[in-house]
């Protein structure tokens, strides 16, 4: 039995016409001899509408009922896709998360998949079913309640199914025809990549690229799932971008892509005591408050005091400020001032080739200096260099770095 997983995002199933077009793609794979598991998102805009209704009805909503409401969009799409396939003469059946069952944790709104038993769907395949259309984004808790996996969770659903069923491949259909060196809307020279390593895709996803959800790439890397990103809107079939092991890429440039995050904030605590445990005292309460701290820089001074700078998303600044002020009120630590800068953006260069190419940082800094762009914070890892800059220079920085590393040209 050769199982293929195909995932269609919200724009790919935005209306009945697009569901019909997606069903034709599924039919082609059935004709090639595959049993197909189709993972569907809600129609474009549907989840936002459902979330809005929940918030309007109960601002301090019960997370279990939030999941009951917001998961319904995928149920509609799954049923419509199964009906369309049946009308085309293909034995298909829709499956909600609890019917598979997709077993998750009890963390409503951001549950994690723990197991996907294969018996039910495999039995139906043996009985003649050719396509299982599964509602993405949802599962069932140990208590028997519907759960959701967080925004973008259908990507994670698809990869998890590919791993559980040992699928030959997992195809992710979106509104773009692959993974690009950067956002084509920012840089017209952006080039579609034929292949990209799991690690590179994971960094790009975590740094702001919206093509794939970070958790889906983590799963694909862990279980060695062949992952392909394609467009459902293209009239003709194409190869898209294959996300794969580093060993499957013949030769890598030093930099594979440029990622950016527009809505970043920089916070600095000035004149903090320079002593063991001060970092834990600062960042522990921030973590408990759900603040996603990213870049961290500490300046050492001679008088036993230091400045601590970190970045976080702009929509978490209020939460961060509250946690910091509460920590100071408890006497956890003291500081002279909290300086906020909500006008910054993060720009990152990513590439597994950095491991074997020297001078990437110097080349990056020269390119930014040539455009008179000041760097506020720098962080590095083995395959990534990120900088914080003034937000007004973000697009210029992306274009300058794309040119500097020759990303418009293949390796």
Q: How far apart are CA 189 and CA 247, in angstroms?
A: 27
pLDDT at 126 over 80: yes
Determine whether the annotation assigns residue 304 to a binding site: no
Q: What is the pLDDT of residue 122?
A: 97
Record the tokens describing residue 384, joined without a space: 């990534």
Determine whether the annotation assigns residue 382 to a binding site: no
Q: What is the pLDDT of residue 236?
A: 67
Residue range 161-205, pLDDT digits in tens: 999 999 999 999 988 888 888 988 888 898 988 888 888 888 887
Q: How far apart are CA 198 and CA 203, in angstroms?
A: 9
Q: What is the pLDDT of residue 284?
A: 94
pLDDT at 252 over 90: no
Q: What is the pLDDT of residue 54?
A: 94
Domains annotated for the chain, with CATH where assigned, are 3-175 (3.40.1160.10), 258-404 (3.30.2130.10)
**CB atoms < 10 A from the CB of 106, how many?**
12
**Number of H-type helices and E-type strands within the chain:** 12, 18
pLDDT at 302 over 70: no
Taking Cα atoms as reference points, which of 299, 317, 295 lies closest to residue 308? 299
Q: What is the pLDDT of residue 32?
A: 94
Q: What is the pLDDT of residue 209?
A: 63
Largest CA distance in the chain: 78
Determine whether the annotation assigns residue 7 to a binding site: yes
What rounded mean pLDDT belongs to the chain?
A: 91
Determine whether the annotation assigns residue 245 to a binding site: no
pLDDT above 70 covers what percent of the chain?
97
pLDDT at 123 over 90: yes
pLDDT mean over 217-235 = 87
> By the 8 A CB rule, do 90 and 133 touch?
no
Concatenated DSSP letters of 224-235: T--EEEEESS-S
Determine whether the annotation assigns residue 180 to a binding site: yes
Residue range 128-139, pLDDT digits in tens: 999 999 999 999
Can you name the residues that pair with 5 across neighbouring β-strands?
Answer: 37, 170
pLDDT mean over 41-67 = 93
Determine whether the annotation assigns residue 124 to a binding site: no
Determine whether the annotation assigns residue 47 to a binding site: yes
Q: What is the pLDDT of residue 64?
A: 95
Residue range 81-91, pLDDT digits in tens: 999 999 999 99
Q: What is the pLDDT of residue 388?
A: 96
* pLDDT band of 214, cuts 50, 70, 90: confident
pLDDT mean over 75-97 = 97
Asked whether the whole model's pTM tops 0.85, one would answer: no
* pLDDT band of 70, cuts 50, 70, 90: very high
Residue range 264-297, pLDDT digits in tens: 999 999 999 888 899 999 999 999 988 989 899 9
Q: What is the pLDDT of residue 211?
A: 75
pLDDT above 90 covers what percent of the chain?
69
Taking Cα atoms as reference points, which of 105, 188, 98 lies closest to residue 139? 98
* pLDDT band of 59, cuts 50, 70, 90: confident
Q: What is the pLDDT of residue 364?
A: 96
Whole-number Cα distances in Å, 374 to 9, 128, 135, 338 = 38, 63, 47, 22
pLDDT at 210 over 70: no
Q: What is the pLDDT of residue 285?
A: 93
Q: What is the pLDDT of residue 411?
A: 64
pLDDT mean over 304-331 = 92
Q: What is the pLDDT of residue 114?
A: 96
Record the tokens describing residue 102, joined without a space: 């997709």
Q: What is the pLDDT of residue 208?
A: 60
pLDDT at 23 over 80: yes
Determine whether the annotation assigns residue 74 to a binding site: yes
Residue range 253-269, pLDDT digits in tens: 788 899 999 989 999 99
Taking Cα atoms as reference points, which of 189, 185, 159, 186 lies closest to residue 172? 159
Q: Which residues contact 348 (CB under 8 A, 6 or more apart)?
A: 203, 207, 208, 258, 259, 260, 384, 385, 386, 387
């Amino acid at each position: 039995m050769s199982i293929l997983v195909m995932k269609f995002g919200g724009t790919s199933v935005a209306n009945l016409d697009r569901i019909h077009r997606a069903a034709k793609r599924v039919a082609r794979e059935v004709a090639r001899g595959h049993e197909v598991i189709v993972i569907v998102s809600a129609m474009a805009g549907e989840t936002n509408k459902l979330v809005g209704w929940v918030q309007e009805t109960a601002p301090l909503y019960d997370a279990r009922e939030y999941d009951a409401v917001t998961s319904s969009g995928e149920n509609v799409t799954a049923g419509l896709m199964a009906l369309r396939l049946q009308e085309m003469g293909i034995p298909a059946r829709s499956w909600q998360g609890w019917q598979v069952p997709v077993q998750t944790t009890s963390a409503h709104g951001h549950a994690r998949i723990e197991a996907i038993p294969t018996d039910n769907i495999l039995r139906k395949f043996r009985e003649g079913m050719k396509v299982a259309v599964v509602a993405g984004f949802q599962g069932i808790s140990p208590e028997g309640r519907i759960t959701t996996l967080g925004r973008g969770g259908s990507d994670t659903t698809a990869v998890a199914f590919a791993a559980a069923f040992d699928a030959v491949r997992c195809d992710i259909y979106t509104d773009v025809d692959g993974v690009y060196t950067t956002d084509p809307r920012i840089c017209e020279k952006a080039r579609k990549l034929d292949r990209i390593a799991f690690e590179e895709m994971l960094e790009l996803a975590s740094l702001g690229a919206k093509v794939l959800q970070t958790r889906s790439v983590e799963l694909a890397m862990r279980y060695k799932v062949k992952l392909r990103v394609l467009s459902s809107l293209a009239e003709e079939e194409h190869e898209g971008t294959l996300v794969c092991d580093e060993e499957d890429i013949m030769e890598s440039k030093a930099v594979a892509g440029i990622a950016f995050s527009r809505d970043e904030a920089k916070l600095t605590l000035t004149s903090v005591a320079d002593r063991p445990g001060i970092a834990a005292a600062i960042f522990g309460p921030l973590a408990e408050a759900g603040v996603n701290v990213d870049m961290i820089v500490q300046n050492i001074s001679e008088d036993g005091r230091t400045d601590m700078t970190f970045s976080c998303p702009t929509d978490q600044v209020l939460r961060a400020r509250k946690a910091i002020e509460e920590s100071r009120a408890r006497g956890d630590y003291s500081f002279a001032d909290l300086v906020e800068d909500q006008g910054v953006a993060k720009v990152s260069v990513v590439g597994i080739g950095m491991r074997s190419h020297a001078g990437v940082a110097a080349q990056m800094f020269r390119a930014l200096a040539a455009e008179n762009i000041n760097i506020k914070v720098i962080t590095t890892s083995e395959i990534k260099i990120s900088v914080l800059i003034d937000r007004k220079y973000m697009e210029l920085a992306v274009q300058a770095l794309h040119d500097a590393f020759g990303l418009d040209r293949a390796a």
